[in-house]
Structure 1
Amino acid sequence: MIRKAQFVVSNTDPTKCPKPDRAEIAFIGRSNVGKSSLINMLTGVKELAKTSQKPGKTQLVNHFMIDDRWYLVDLPGYGFAKVSKDRKEKWEQMISEYLTSRENLCGVFVLIDSRLEPQTIDLEFLNWCGEEDVPFVVAFTKADKQSKSQTDKNVRAFLNKLEDIFGDIPDYFVTSAEKHAGKDQVLSFISELVSEYEAERTN
């Protein structure tokens, strides 16, 4: 359980992020995948990450301090946001620089809309993460928006695609921000990542 969550800083320059002196867990996904809602659900703070019906709301690397112990990072979405090509390229450069250069990054939750069949843009992003050794885990969102059988079918189809790419299935969670589904499992997984990071730093 998260007891305290507070905003620290927003950045467009990964080199100006907080000092990498504690564990960091990032969240990223296609525009409008429900990232802000999931972050708010996990932290229990309604307006921590600003939710918006308008895709592309998050345009900065946003750091939040959790329980005075680790950083939660809200990253800009990739995909459909209606922005200029120039700005889109700058975002992509900023995101890739952040993901490949933060030595305290212990895990990246890549959010996937469970209502959709596998999307090429998501598979390409995860493939890139694999190539760059970015430590990712998959979180399927909006599981309450359709029947459980439809969610299971879409999740299975996506995992099959990932197995084709990587040879096995990565860690994954099925979540719903509204129903709080997956909350305990995700927080438990994050707690393990943070503890592992801290144990390695003291050795």
Structure 2
Amino acid sequence: MHVQDAEIVMSAVDPKQYPGTGFPEIALAGRSNVGKSSFINKLINRKALARTSSKPGKTQTLNFYLINNFFYFVDVPGYGYAKVSKTERAKWGRMMETYFTQRDQMKHVFLVVDFRHEPTIDDIQMKDFIEYYDIPYTVVATKADKIPRGKWNQHFYQIKKALNLPSDESLILFSSETGEGFDKAWKLIEDILED
């Protein structure tokens, strides 16, 4: 897909604030600082539409990015950031649960993990949550450029095993630096939107 038009249209904390356009939505879930914003920016070929931050826990709302006036990427708050209070974390949890379980327009979740590390307990819980609610998902392992190619297989299977993924197709290796996984991610997005 050639992206001609991309804009952040709103940040929402509850369903009353979600867009009313009816366009399909693809959500991105993952730990704070795992590279969700860089993933979006790479896919839409923009340097900084999705705000990246060196400070974890920056995204505190559901951020809706309208792409080609056709679908949304929805960046949800990163989980697993220790410096956020329990109350705040619980609030984010409720906001995310409401979105994931009640939003008909949400067609697919990209669960974003860090290719360099084994998935965390939070990653596993997020994946279990997505599966429990029978939401279609794909795992995207970012920062692939940080691992020597000779070790890719080892890391790939470590993530696949930790998350108990059904097939190799459930996992896309991605690098916002080199563009690794770019075509595969877009092909999947196009398939999702055609359904």
TM range (shorter): over 0.9
Q: Which residue of the partner structure matches residue 85 of structure 1?
A: 86
> Which amino acid counterpart does residue 142 of structure 2 have in structure 1?
T
* Residues 47, 96 of structure 1: alpha-carbon distance in 2 compared, 3 angstrom cutoff: same
Cα distance in 1 for partners of 2:185, 2:92 equals: 27
For the Cα contact (< 8 Å) 2:25–2:73, is it kept in 1?
A: yes
* Residues 36, 113 of structure 1: alpha-carbon distance in 2 compared, 3 angstrom cutoff: same
Q: Which residue of the partner structure matches residue 170 of structure 2?
A: 171
Cα distance in 1 for partners of 2:82, 2:11 equals: 19
Cα distance in 2 for partners of 1:91, 1:106 equals: 21
For the Cα contact (< 8 Å) 2:6–2:68, is it kept in 1?
A: yes
Cα distance in 1 for partners of 2:36, 2:77 equals: 10
Cα distance in 2 for partners of 1:149, 1:121 equals: 28
> Which amino acid counterpart does residue 93 of structure 2 have in structure 1?
E
Which SS does the other structure have where 1:115 is aligned?
coil
CA drift at 1:81: 4.7
* Residues 81, 57 of structure 1: alpha-carbon distance in 2 compared, 3 angstrom cutoff: farther
For the Cα contact (< 8 Å) 2:119–2:163, is it kept in 1?
A: no
**CA deviation vs aligned residue, 1:54-98 (integer Å, no higher than 9, x gap):** 111111101111111111111111112521111110001101110
Which SS does the other structure have where 2:163 is aligned?
helix
For the Cα contact (< 8 Å) 1:27–1:109, is it kept in 2?
A: yes
TM-score calculated relative to the size of structure 2: 0.93
Q: Which residue of the partner structure matches residue 183 of structure 1?
A: 182
1:44-193 matches, within 5 Å, as 44-163=45-164, 168-169=166-167, 171-193=170-192
* Residues 2, 88 of structure 1: alpha-carbon distance in 2 compared, 3 angstrom cutoff: same
Cα distance in 2 for partners of 1:131, 1:20 equals: 28
**Aligned-residue CA RMSD in angstroms?**
1.4
Q: Percent identity between the aligned chains?
A: 38
Cα distance in 2 for partners of 1:30, 1:172 equals: 17
**CA deviation vs aligned residue, 1:142-177 (integer Å, no higher than 9, x gap):** 0001212333212201212333xx6x2362210001
Q: Number of residues paired by the alignment?
A: 193
Cα distance in 1 for partners of 2:51, 2:151 equals: 29
Gaps (5+ residues) in structure 1?
197-203
TM-score calculated relative to the size of structure 1: 0.90
CA drift at 1:25: 0.7
**CA deviation vs aligned residue, 1:22-71 (integer Å, no higher than 9, x gap):** 11111111011011111100111111110111111111101111111111
